[in-house]
Chain A
Amino acid sequence: MIETKSKGQSDPSETRTCILETRQLKVYAGKQVLLQGIDLGISEGEVFGLIGPSGAGKSTLLRCLNRLIDLDQGLRVEGAVLFHGQSVRGRAMDVDELRVRVGMLFQQPVVFPLSILKNVIFGVRHQRKIARRDRLLVAEKALREAALWQEVKDRLQTPALKLSVGQQQRLCLARTLAMEPEIILMDEPTSALDPKSTQAIDDLIMELKKKRTIVLVTHHLNQARRLCDRVAFISAKSGEGGRIACMGETETVMSRTDLAELSDFVGCEQGVTCCES
């Protein structure tokens, strides 16, 4: 099993054990390769960033980690994804249980046409029996963790769709947190949000990283710098599948100048140069 150092630890020599890793992960859509030979390991308690240009396969990789990719018909997955050393694609793995333990926050907030309260407990009430009187407690805990409680505590029965987009995204995070996942996969969670809401989500991730492992797909390098302990840069040349071009501690990866694709990507973000990819 891979062992990694993590940013922010008091003892730099301290290592953490990987709880989620991929080995030679490949994804195909018919004959087209979407991802090729992905090897990575994610340690407990770290924020791991996936950066790279659009279409490189970052979201596809993320969806492999909790097998949400199973919902995409016509895609074929090869290689291994291991969660605590157990193959997530093995027969012994309960995929629904996996998705409880490896939660997901999507690019766009997905709230159901229900009340705020019902949205928060939507998943957890299917996972375990909760007495009616305890539902509010579960919701309060999750909403507090998602820093939304103060804004909605007086209107828990109002339709969730009346919230702003930023609040909806935090509501989705609360819904995921209510499941008490070990890992949260975040697929560009701030791409649909204004700067203020983005800041709120960023602050939340900073807070959440104390207790949980987070895998964050982002286009924003500043966000990656601010939040991620380590990042993997995924690139894809036209006609080839996405692959990990480099991986390591965030600043180390960002400062690499020997990789043209990474330089282009970082340059684009900083407005230094214009790139095609």
Chain B
Amino acid sequence: MRRCIDRLFVLATAACLLFALGVISFIVGVIVWRGFGALSWQFLTDQIRSAGAAGGIFYNIVGTLILLATALIVCVPLATGLALMHGVYLKKQRSRERLWLFLSVLNGVPSILFGLFGLMVFVKFFAWGKSWLAGGVLLGLMILPTVAVALLERIKTLPRPYIEAAAGLGLSDSQRVWSVVLPQSVGGLVTGLLLGLARAAGETAPIMFTATIFAGANIPTGIKESPVLSLPYHIFVLAQDSFDPAAAENLWGSALVLLGLVLLLSLLALPARLNFHEEAEK
């Protein structure tokens, strides 16, 4: 009987795994199947033409990368600070719980509300207008909880003897953070960033009010009123408004490029993540 239950349990978990793999494979398969035909050197290097029915997505890729890079620059110091506050500097359990609650709430805010917040604060109040900076900062704030939680979870698992040994050698709080806590936890930061940026790369709602337009922009030269093109918004508009079959092909091609971008981010981070794991296991 017990063996029967064991086997049923294994079967149930295997079924879950197969279901998840099936869904992912189906989504990826459809995107590759429908989008592969659109891919060409010209598609990747040309600018948008004929309302998306012709030309390429070069500036959409560039715009997306600018937004992601800005989000990364905004998010890394903030997430590191929050994680260090939680894991190192806040001594009272209640304070840590409040910070955790704040991060959970922030993580639960719908992306459309982030978009409205960005519209009110960055676009209107700061008078940046539609700008890559507004969108990048907003995306950085949106992925902040993901990155901070990944880092602070890693800090929590840091071997306590490391901290004690460093303190026993007379290292101050800040020296312990720079020499022990951060080098040993940076794998968590990379993991969190990877997850966060992958999410940010596909977000449309926060940037549609604040940073991106469908056509008519290239490399931004200023901060105020400097919108960029982006892949998610491009896909969103083509999917919603275009009845042209050529545009539909470009839509799937853009989706495939976006998928590839997320995969590339994962691959870029992989050597660093593996290296950190090996360091920890040595």
Contact = CB atoms under 8 A, between A and B. Distances in A.
B165 A96 contact: no
B8 interface: no
Residues of B contacting A: mostly:
helix
Contact of A110 (B91, B165, B175): B165
A106 B161 contact: yes
A100 B169 contact: yes
Interface in A132-181: 159, 161-162, 172, 175-176, 179
B132 to A, nearest CB: 40
Contact of B170 (A73, A96, A112, A161): A96
B180 A112 contact: yes
A114 to B, nearest CB: 9
A66 B280 contact: no
Contacts of B53: none
Interface stretch (A21-29, A121-129, A204-212, A267-275): A121-129
Nearest to A162: B282
Interface residues of A, number: 27
A108 B165 CA distance: 11
B172 interface: yes
Contacts of B280: 113
B170 A97 contact: yes
Interface string B155-169: 000000111111111
A259 interface: no
A93 interface: no
B162 A110 contact: yes
B279 A123 contact: no
Contacts of B161: 106, 108, 110
Report, as a range, how many residues of chain B touch the other chain.
20 to 34
Contacts of A76: none
A45 interface: no
B171 interface: yes
Contacts of A179: 169-170
A138 to B, nearest CB: 14
A123 B282 CA distance: 21
B42 interface: no
A110 B171 CA distance: 15
B282 A126 contact: no
A126 B161 CA distance: 18
A86 B279 CA distance: 42
A106 B170 contact: no
A130 interface: no
Nearest to B279: A113
Interface string B169-191: 11110010001100010000000
A174 to B, nearest CB: 12
A99 interface: yes
Given A112-B180, A113-B282, A161-B282, A96 B172 contact: yes
B164 A127 contact: no
Contacts of A108: 161
Given A113-B280, A161-B282, A172 B171 contact: no
Given A71-B167, A99-B167, A172-B165, 19 more contacts: A68-B167, A71-B164, A99-B170, A103-B168, A108-B161, A110-B161, A110-B164, A113-B279, A122-B169, A122-B179, A123-B166, A123-B170, A123-B171, A126-B169, A126-B179, A159-B282, A162-B282, A176-B168, A179-B170
Interface of B: 91, 161-172, 175, 179-180, 184, 279-280, 282
